[in-house]
C-alpha cells in the first residue's frame, strides 16, 4: 500500500480513537486535532522515503503527542503542565497500546454545557474527522457559521474542564439521550440523500451506524442504545429499494422486498428483542418496532398496520410529536380506511409545525384522492410538490397528481 493510502486507511480506521486518546487528559479537542493533523502531514513526508511503519496508528500517536507536548510547554506552566506532560509522554498501558476513548469523547460532546444544536456536528468532526464545510452542508448551515460553532464548543470543553468519561448511573439517562439523539440526527442527514449523489453526505448514514454500534457495544444494558441501532439497521436494510433502476423514487409500500437486506433486518430484530426483554420502552425501541411491523410484508401481502397503529399511538403519547401523530393517521387509513385517516389528519390541521412539512401534504393529498375529493387532493399535491427538494420525489408526486380522475 502506498504511503498516502496507508495514511488514509489509518484516518478512516482510527481518527476518532486517536483524537479521543490525545484529548482525554488535556480536554483540548482542538489541540488534539491540530497535533494529529501535523502528524498526518509528517507521515506523508516521512513514509514515502522510510516506508509505512508496521503500526501506523502508533507512529501517528507518537508524533502527535510530541506536537502536543511542545504546544503545552509553550502555553501551560507549573504543576498542571507537569501532570499533562507526564501523562502524554507515557499514556495509559493497554495491550494494543491505544486505549479506546471514543465513547467518552461522545459523552463529552453531549455534555449539557454544549449547545444542543452543535452536539451532532461536534461528534462528526471530533470523532469522525469530517471537515466543517462537509458538516455545514449536511446541516444546511453556512460553513463560516459552522466553524465558529465548532470552535466555541471545543473551547467550552477545555475551559469548563468537561470530563471525558461515561457518566455514572445518575447522569447517564440525560447524557445518553443526547448522544443517541445526535447519532440519529447524523443518520437522518445521510438517509436524506437516497441517491448517494452528494459526496459530502454519502457516508453519513454508515458513520452513524458505526457510532450506534460503538454505543450499543459499550453500553449493552441500555435498551434505547439497542433500539436506536435496530432502527437504523431496519431503515438501512431498505436503501437499495428506495430508487428503481432509473433512479425514480419508490415509496415504502411499493418497494421490492427482495432488495431488502435480510441479514441486516435479522440483526435488527435480535437487537430489538434484547431491548424489549429489559422492559424499559423508549422512543427508539418503538420506532424500531414500527419498522419491524413493516417487515412483515416480506412474508405476507401487507404490513401489520394494526400493530403500527398501536405503536404510533404509544409513540405519540410518549413524545407528543406531531410527526408521530401524522404517521398514526396514515396507519389508520391503511388499517381502517381513508376516512379514519383523514379524520385524524384534520385534528392536525392546526399544528403549525406541520404547515410546511411535505409528508403532511403528501399524506393529505393521497387520502383525499382515495376519498374521492379530487380537487382538494390536487391542491394538497401542489403544496407537497412545492415543499419537496428531492427531484425524484417531486416527480413521483407530480405523477400521482396527474393520475387523479377528472
Please write the tens of the pLDDT for every residue from 190-240.
Answer: 887 665 555 455 567 888 898 899 889 888 999 999 999 999 999 999 999
366 contact partners, CB below 8 Å, separation of at least 6: 377, 400
**Does residue 33 or residue 100 have the better pLDDT?**
33
Alpha-carbon dihedral angle through residues 323, 325, 330, 332, given to the nearest 10 degrees: 160
pLDDT tens digits, one per residue of 50-87: 899 989 988 998 899 888 888 777 666 555 555 555 55
**Angle of the 223-236 helix axis to the 204-218 helix axis, nearest 10:** 150
Cβ contacts of 378 within 8 Å, gap of 6 or more: 365, 401, 404
Tell me the pLDDT band of 266, cut-offs 50, 70 and 90: very high
Regarding predicted confidence, which is higher, 24 or 196? 24
Q: pLDDT at residue 99 above 70?
A: no
**Alpha helical stretches, state H, 192-282:** 204-218, 223-236, 262-276
- DSSP state, 353? G
Euclidean distance between CA atoms 289 and 295, whole angstroms:
10
Q: Which residue has the cell 480513537?
A: 17
**What pLDDT was estimated at residue 196?**
55
End-to-end CA distance of the chain: 64
Contacts for 189 with CB less than 8 Å, ≥ 6 apart = 138, 139, 201, 204
- Which of the two residues, 111 and 88, has the higher pLDDT score? 111
Q: Where are the domains of the chain?
A: 1-97, 101-219, 221-237+260-300, 304-355, 356-406
| Amino acid 254: pLDDT | 92
Q: Identify the pLDDT of residue 110.
A: 87
pLDDT score at 39: 93
* 402, 254 contact by CB (below 8 A): no
Q: What is the pLDDT of residue 151?
A: 93
Rounded to whole angstroms, the Cα distance separating 242 from 228 reads 21
pLDDT at position 22 over 90: no
Question: Would you place residue 93 in the very low, low, confident or very high pLDDT band (cuts 50, 70, 90)?
Answer: very low
Over the chain, what is the mean pLDDT?
87
Averaged pLDDT, 99-113? 82
pLDDT at 187: 87
Residues sharing a CB contact under 8 Å with residue 147, sequence separation 6 or more, in sequence order: 132, 136
d(CA 362, CA 369): 11
pLDDT of the residue at 182: 85
- The pLDDT of residue 378: 96
Nearest 10 degrees: CA dihedral of 142, 149, 185, 216?
Answer: 150
Query: Which pLDDT score is estimated for 102?
Result: 79
Lowest mean pLDDT among 111-120, 221-230, 317-326: 111-120
The predicted pLDDT at position 222 comes to 93
Amino acid at each position: 500500500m502506498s504511503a498516502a493510502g496507508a495514511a488514509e486507511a489509518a484516518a478512516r480506521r482510527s481518527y476518532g480513537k486517536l483524537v479521543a486518546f490525545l484529548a482525554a487528559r488535556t480536554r483540548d479537542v482542538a489541540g488534539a486535532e491540530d497535533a494529529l493533523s501535523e502528524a498526518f502531514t509528517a507521515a506523508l513526508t516521512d513514509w514515502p522515503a522510510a516506508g509505512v511503519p508496521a503500526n501506523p496508528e502508533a507512529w501517528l500517536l507518537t508524533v502527535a503527542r510530541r506536537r502536543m507536548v511542545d504546544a503545552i510547554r509553550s502555553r501551560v506552566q507549573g504543576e498542571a503542565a507537569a501532570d499533562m506532560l507526564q501523562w502524554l509522554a507515557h499514556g495509559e498501558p493497554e495491550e494494543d497500546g491505544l486505549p479506546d476513548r471514543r465513547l467518552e469523547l461522545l459523552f463529552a460532546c453531549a455534555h449539557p454545557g454544549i449547545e444542543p444544536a452543535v452536539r451532532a456536528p461536534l461528534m462528526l468532526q471530533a470523532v469522525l474527522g469530517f471537515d466543517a464545510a462537509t458538516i455545514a452542508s449536511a446541516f444546511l448551515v453556512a460553513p463560516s457559521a459552522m466553524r465558529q460553532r465548532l470552535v466555541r464548543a471545543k473551547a467550552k470543553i477545555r475551559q469548563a474542564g468537561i470530563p471525558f468519561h461515561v457518566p455514572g448511573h445518575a447522569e447517564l439517562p440525560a447524557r445518553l439521550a443526547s448522544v443517541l439523539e445526535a447519532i440519529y440526527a447524523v443518520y437522518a442527514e445521510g438517509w436524506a440523500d437516497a441517491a448517494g449523489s452528494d459526496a459530502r453526505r454519502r457516508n453519513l448514514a454508515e458513520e452513524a451506524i458505526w457510532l450506534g454500534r460503538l454505543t450499543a457495544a459499550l453500553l449493552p444494558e441500555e435498551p434505547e442504545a439497542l433500539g436506536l441501532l435496530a432502527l437504523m439497521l431496519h431503515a438501512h436494510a431498505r436503501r437499495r429499494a428506495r430508487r428503481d433502476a432509473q433512479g425514480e423514487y419508490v415509496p415504502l409500500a411499493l418497494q421490492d422486498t427482495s432488495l431488502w437486506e435480510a441479514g441486516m433486518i435479522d440483526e435488527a430484530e435480535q437487537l430489538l428483542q434484547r431491548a424489549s426483554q429489559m422492559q424499559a420502552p423508549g422512543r427508539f425501541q418503538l420506532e424500531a418496532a414500527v419498522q419491524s411491523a413493516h417487515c412483515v410484508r416480506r412474508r405476507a401481502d401487507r404490513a401489520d398496520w394494526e400493530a403500527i397503529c398501536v405503536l404510533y399511538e404509544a409513540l405519540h403519547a410518549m413524545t407528543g410529536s406531531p410527526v408521530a401523530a401524522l404517521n398514526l393517521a396514515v396507519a389508520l387509513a391503511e388499517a381502517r380506511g381513508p376516512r379514519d385517516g383523514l379524520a385524524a389528519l384534520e385534528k392536525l390541521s392546526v399544528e403549525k409545525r406541520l404547515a410546511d412539512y411535505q409528508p403532511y401534504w403528501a399524506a393529505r393529498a393521497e387520502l383525499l384522492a382515495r376519498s374521492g375529493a379530487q380537487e382538494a387532493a390536487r391542491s394538497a399535491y401542489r403544496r407537497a410538490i412545492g415543499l419537496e427538494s428531492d427531484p425524484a420525489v417531486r416527480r413521483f408526486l407530480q405523477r400521482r397528481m396527474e393520475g387523479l380522475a377528472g
